[in-house]
Amino acid sequence: MVSFVVVGCGRISEIHLKAIEKAKNARLAAVCDIVEEKAKEKALLYNVPYYTDLEEMLKKEKPDVAIIGTPSGMHGEHTIKCAGHGAHVLCEKPIEITREKIDSMINVCREKGVLLGGIYQRRTYSGAIAAKKAIEDGQIGKLILCDGYFKYHRSQEYYDSDSWRGTWSLDGGGALMNQCIHGIDMLLMLCGDIMSVTAKCETLARSIEVEDTAVILVKYKNGALGVIEAATSLSEGSDTIFEIHGAQGNISFGDSCFYKWQTINNSPMPCVTDSMGGKNCGWAEEDGHRILVEDMAQCVLTGKSPLIPPEEARRAVDVILAIYQSAKTGKEAFIND
């Protein structure tokens, strides 16, 4: 069994803990949070020791893998500490909030001989994999327009609930760096690298220093164009929508289903039984965190590479940093290679 520890016992930690519980070849060794009550609560629930000091947990428990679920701008520091103690790392999105910090995480993990994997659980959904395969197989022809509409609601209370939320220093941005990064990562997975972005970012509805609303014109390396609309400023009930148009077909989907599946070979809209047990025509919410934990356990046991290597997890952050640069300068910004 591969031993896992969870670093950060906040909102996302319950998903990490359940994922470890369900994953093959994985066992939970301990949890850690600087806020004792949070660590203690999870420790009691899962019957493992808790720590309020990461170094102490690493020294005593010598875990195979640490899952990092601390505020985004702390991922680098915590990853590097874990790597220093020989622990492989599975790190929440965004992997970090600056290019420099991500590169130093990658370098340190390489030097220490430990693996570093990113978390974008939606990459594991069967609907996403089916759409990627159809696009890669040329089933909608040459890509023309690849659009993403990521319209979220996050209340002022959400932003006020923790001092790191909605800050440049620890959230790394607003709607884009925290929520819409999932959608941007999905566009990269489906449509390929983005070459440049031209953006407007505004703070229209929340009292925060970062953006709650953005509109972006996108140019992909393969020549396709697209738009991204990203927000946390909207009222509840807006859907996430992807619209991928090729010269010979269209694929579009939202949070819960495919809307359009028009391919050259007239293949039927893929129906999947999701891993939560439901039957869903197309897009299904699946337990992606469990799949990524199981994958990391497999990496430790077999030496294979993580499903989402750090260079892959970095791509969406690079795009978002370019979006911020474009919004600041008013000019088209090109993505770092």
What is the contact surface with ligand NAD in residues (CB under 6 A)? 7-12, 32-35, 38, 54, 69-72, 74, 92-93, 119, 121, 162, 178
Q: Where are the alpha helices (DSSP H) in 23-85?
A: 36-46, 54-61, 75-84
CB contact burial 131-149 (16+ within 10 A = b; e otherwise): bbebbeeebbeebbbbbbb
Contact 61, 161 (CB under 8 A): no
CB contact burial 266-302 (16+ within 10 A = b; e otherwise): eeebbebebbeeeebebbbbbbbbbbbbbbbbbbbee
CB nearer ligand NAD, residue 5 or residue 299: 5
Closest CA to 88 of 19, 26, 160: 26
Which residues, listed in sequence order, are joined to residue 4 by a DSSP beta bridge? Answer: 28, 65
CB nearer ligand NAD, residue 167 or residue 280: 167
CB nearer ligand NAD, residue 159 or residue 253: 159
CB of 54 to ligand NAD, least distance (A): 5
CB of 12 to ligand NAD, least distance (A): 4
CB nearer ligand NAD, residue 32 or residue 194: 32
Distance, in Å, from the CA atom of 106 to the CA atom of 110, rounded to the nearest integer, reads: 6
**In the bound complex, which residue of the shown chain has the CB atom lying closest to ligand NAD?**
10
CB nearer ligand NAD, residue 9 or residue 146: 9
Long-range contacts, stretch 212-217, CB < 8 angstroms, 24+ apart: 212/154, 212/174, 212/175, 213/175, 214/175, 214/176, 214/180, 214/323, 214/327, 216/323, 216/326
Closest CA to 140 of 252, 21, 262: 262
CB nearer ligand NAD, residue 7 or residue 109: 7
CB nearer ligand NAD, residue 121 or residue 263: 121
161 token code pair:
């609930």
CB nearer ligand NAD, residue 124 or residue 263: 124
CB of 38 to ligand NAD, least distance (A): 5
CB of 308 to ligand NAD, least distance (A): 11
CB of 329 to ligand NAD, least distance (A): 26
CB of 118 to ligand NAD, least distance (A): 10
CB of 33 to ligand NAD, least distance (A): 4
CB of 309 to ligand NAD, least distance (A): 17
Closest CA to 197 of 173, 174, 217, 224: 217
288 token code pair:
């992606």
Q: Where are the alpha helices (DSSP H) in 151-309?
A: 156-160, 181-191, 288-302
